[in-house]
């Protein structure tokens, strides 16, 4: 059974995660809030190709902060469109349909994908323990069960 209080906490963690990357209107990005969202040992996995790219939190933050602040990636926005969250005791999982858009080296892009986020409750409260994502591409589309609720 899902606690509504826990669900609100997980919604907040997820919302902060997505929001921290947005650099629209020339906004400078500071990814330090990720250090508060994740456990120290947290991992982030980009699995959009043939080989997963697995990062520690530090390995993930440094190049993205540079990319989002040096003019290479501008007007970037990432947002959750739909989610399914399951909570059991001190663990939780969220499957999330998201969309990202922006200008990469002046070329506009807009794409959707799925993120899986795992949470644990510790003495410091709820934290993200791991996150992985894959994006739509030729031969891989978002399942209809998520598209039907997409606005």
| Angle formed at CA 31 by CA 133 and CA 38, multiple of 5 degrees | 60
- pLDDT average, residue stretch 109-125: 96
Q: What are 107's two structure tokens?
A: 């070329």
CA distance to 45, 111, 147, per residue, from 130 (Å): 8, 22, 25
Q: In this predicted structure, what is the pLDDT of residue 145?
A: 82
Q: Where are the domains of the chain?
A: 4-147
In this structure, the chain runs to a length of: 151
Q: Sorting pLDDT into bands at 50, 70 and 90, what band is 105? A: very high
Residue-level pLDDT at 150: 46
Q: What mean pLDDT is predicted for residues 130-136?
A: 97
Q: In this prediction, what percent of the chain has a pLDDT beyond 90? A: 90
Out of 3.65.10.10, 3.40.50.300, 3.40.50.2300, 3.10.450.50, the CATH code matching 4-147 is 3.10.450.50
pLDDT at 31: 96
């Amino acid at each position: 059974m899902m606690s509504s209080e826990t669900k609100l906490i997980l919604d907040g963690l997820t919302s902060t995660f997505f929001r921290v990357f947005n650099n629209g209107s020339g906004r400078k990005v500071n990814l330090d809030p990720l250090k508060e969202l994740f456990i120290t040992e947290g991992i982030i996995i980009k699995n959009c190709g043939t080989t997963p790219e697995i990062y520690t939190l530090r390995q993930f933050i440094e190049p993205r902060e540079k990319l989002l602040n040096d003019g290479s990636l501008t007007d970037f926005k990432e947002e959750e469109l739909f989610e399914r969250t399951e909570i059991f005791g001190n663990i939780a999982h969220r499957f999330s349909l998201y969309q990202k858009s922006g200008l990469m080296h002046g070329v506009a892009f807009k794409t959707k994908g799925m993120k899986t986020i795992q949470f644990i409750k510790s003495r410091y409260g709820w934290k993200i323990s791991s996150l992985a994502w894959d994006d739509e591409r030729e031969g891989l589309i978002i399942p209809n069960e998520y598209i039907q609720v997409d606005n």
